[in-house]
Amino acid sequence: MPNGQGFLSGNPWRLLRGEKHFLSLIRIQQNKIHLRGMKTGWLFLFIFLFSSSRAASFSSIADSSKYKILSLDSLSDEDYALLEEYKDSFMQEVKLIKSTLGLKKAKSIDTTVALMNRSSHCEISLDVTGPILSNGRSTSLKGAAFYPSVMYYHKTGLYASLSMGFYTDSAVRKSAALPLVAFSTGFYRTFFKRWTFSIGYSRNFTLYQEKVYQGMLNNSFNLFNSFNFWNYLTIGVSTSVSWSSNLTSRKYLEVQLGQNRPPRKIYYKTFTNDIGQAYGVNVALSLRKDFSFFNILGAKIFTLSPELYFIFGHDNSAFLIQGFRQPGQSPLTYDKFFGLLDIEPGFSVDWRIRNLEIFGSFHVAIPFNDYNETTYKRVVNPKEYHPYGSGGVKYLFRIKPKASKHD
């Protein structure tokens, strides 16, 4: 997902789609073996003619006698030992014939990660991203961010996760030892190997900010849908609705408006509404094409995916009211903008080695309709480009069900 957007890892349909591609590779390889086997066709023709002549010579004997079925228990120790001795050589001959005919069983693809969503499992991951952007725009945070997390996924599709956030920005590190804690729960599942659906709720605790800012846009409801069309293009749409806990808070700030005036109380709810942070809606459209390769670069499956994101949403930028004179009126307002915020072309890579998954991505954020704090106007195309990268590692392990008493 784009920088600043929530995501749920694990895309099992990639591997399922990749298996179909791999089967076509197997058929191509078998065709090559078949062409090579034609060179030995005369040899098998000779064997066939020889066997036919041998069968004809013994046909009279077979007709004059009845078949007898012997049990291995009736064999003497000497005959049984002789049979065991020729068994190994016989199996070697069978393997040689199968190899020549191209009947050798293809090496199976490790689908441990691909099929993980069909069973209950846990995930432990560490993500890193930098620089830190918001809707394609620069933020006051410098450096990179690290997000360790743990998630439990049930085979029915229900999940719950807990994550933390650490920043290299010196101001954040001095403000709190644990800057960010996030909890999320919901439902995520892939149907028919093509349609992925997710719905969930998340709550963020930004512990490095002041109290009034900790309650802004800290709740979110997320909905995600994606569909793989003809194993060629995956189109996804995600929607996020955020709201602030300050709207139900009775806390207030004390603001000193003048030297000879008593401090004025401004409630968290009022302040949050005044600066346009009561709620927010973001919609992201994604286009992706997966290219899967097998047994390459030390991985069972390697996926390269060009991507393109379009992000629409609120960008409530507050500014001072010009000519503020009315008592009791807030000196702040905002423009209530909703529209195109960001376009992000890029690509992602994914290594899958049994239970281990290594992933990374690179995108260029191109902001649109950015707010100019000097002119108090929106700039449709500020012609700014913000490259950023992200990556991480994830380990998945199944939760085995308890054995039955009858087992």
Averaged pLDDT for residues 172-197? 92
pLDDT at 308: 97
pLDDT at 2: 55
Question: Which bin fits 156, alpha (ψ -120 to 50), beta or left (φ > 0)?
Answer: alpha
Query: What is the full DSSP assignment across 122-147?
Result: EEEEEEEEES-EETTEE-S--S-EEE
The Cβ of residue 380 has, within 10 Å, a number of other Cβ atoms equal to 10
Percent of the chain's residues with pLDDT above 70: 64
**In the predicted model, is pLDDT for residue 150 greater than 80?**
yes
Residue 89 lies in a domain: no
- Run of H or E residues at 332: strand 332-334
pLDDT at 258: 67
**In the predicted model, is pLDDT for residue 183 greater than 60?**
yes
Spatial contact of 187 and 159, defined as CB atoms under 8 Å apart: yes
Averaged pLDDT for residues 30-55? 47
Residue 314 lies in a domain: yes
When comparing pLDDT for 339 and 318, which is higher?
A: 339
Residue 43: pLDDT band (50, 70, 90) is: very low
Residue 138 lies in a domain: yes
Residue 226 lies in a domain: yes
Backbone angles phi, psi at 287, to 5 degrees: -125, 130
**In the predicted model, is pLDDT for residue 104 greater than 70?**
no
pLDDT tens-place string over residues 261-304: 788 888 999 888 888 888 999 999 999 999 988 777 666 778 89
pLDDT tens-place string over residues 367-391: 999 887 777 788 899 999 999 999 9
Residue 216 lies in a domain: yes
Spatial contact of 270 and 328, defined as CB atoms under 8 Å apart: no
Spatial contact of 321 and 332, defined as CB atoms under 8 Å apart: yes
* Structure tokens that stand for 166 in this block: 């650490």
**Amino acid present at 387:** P
Residue 376 lies in a domain: yes
DSSP at 85:
H
Residue 405 lies in a domain: no
- For 307, the domain range is 12-22+110-398
Mean predicted lDDT score pLDDT of the chain: 76
On whether the pTM is more than 0.85, the answer is no
Residue 46 lies in a domain: no
Q: Give the span between the Cα atoms of 377 and 44, in whole angstroms.
A: 83
- For residue 243, what is the domain's CATH number? 2.40.160.40
Averaged pLDDT for residues 232-241? 95
What is the number of structural domains in the chain? 1
Q: Where are the alpha helices (DSSP H) in 58-191?
A: 59-64, 77-101, 170-175
When comparing pLDDT for 48 and 19, which is higher?
A: 48
